Amino acid sequence: MAIDIAGFITYVKDHAVEHGFHVHDERHFIETFSLRQSFEVDLHPESACDGPLDLNLAFDIEPRVLLRLEDWVKEHEEDITEADGHFQLPIYFNWALPTMKSPPDLVVLAAELAGIGGFDLPIEVSGVESTGALSTGSDIRLSLVGRVELSLVDVMMGQEQLCGILDRCRDVSEYLVTASAEWGVEYPPPLPPAE
């Protein structure tokens, strides 16, 4: 039994639309030597298509894991569910906001997002402060990464349900869009000063 990863990505995009997202772009990368694959999907909640939030879903597919799973299925056709938990497909949810004037306290933000994402969608919060020749001061950007591991057996059998994860992802996205005004997010980003 083959694993249709491209079909699963299409399912995720269609399912995301059902949960209040707009899909804006999709990319597929293949390393020619290792055959490692990455899929990326850019989307936004319906209420925030005009910004300022960027949300990127990234799927990292390791070919050795797929080959091991296919070998397992050939050897254990009578009960492939025993492989569940040994073969995982990681999905990364990457949120990014543009420069902000009044950034939040990252510890408080991480605690608030933990309440929204719950155990289904753990989120890592980080901030980057940078200065440059064209900026009038320091630029502070917020970056959030959620990581979820799906069972490749469920993906292969067409049994993976993403409803809870996508609902939490939408809730986190809408929270960030609402809070971005309070944080002084500059959107659209200001143009650099003319010379």
Instruction: Specify the pTM.
Output: 0.84
Residue 112, phi-psi category: left (phi > 0), alpha (psi -120 to 50), beta (remainder) = alpha
pLDDT confidence tier of residue 42, bands split at 50, 70 and 90: very high
**pLDDT category, 189, cuts 50, 70, 90?**
low
pLDDT of residue 103: 84
Neighbours of 26 (CB within 10 A): 14
What percent of the chain is modeled with pLDDT above 70?
86
In angstroms, rounded to a whole number, what is the distance separating the alpha carbons of residues 174 and 31?
A: 35
Radius of gyration of the chain (CA): 19
pLDDT at 152 over 80: yes
- Classify residue 1 as exposed, middle or buried by CB count within 10 Å of its CB (0-12, 13-18, 19+): exposed
pLDDT > 70? residue 140 = yes
**DSSP 8-state symbol, 121:** S
Alpha carbon 157 to its chain centroid, in Å, reads 23
| DSSP class of 129 | E
Short-list 158, 144, 166, CA closest to 23: 166
Q: How far apart are CA 103 and CA 81, in angstroms?
A: 46
Q: What is the mean pLDDT of residues 149-159?
A: 82
Q: Average the pLDDT over 132-146 and give the result.
A: 74
State both tokens at 141: 């950007």
- pLDDT score recorded for residue 111: 94
Check residue 83 and give its pLDDT.
Answer: 59
The CA distance from 156 to 160, in Å, is: 9
Provide, rounded to the nearest whole percent, the portion of the chain with pLDDT above 90: 35
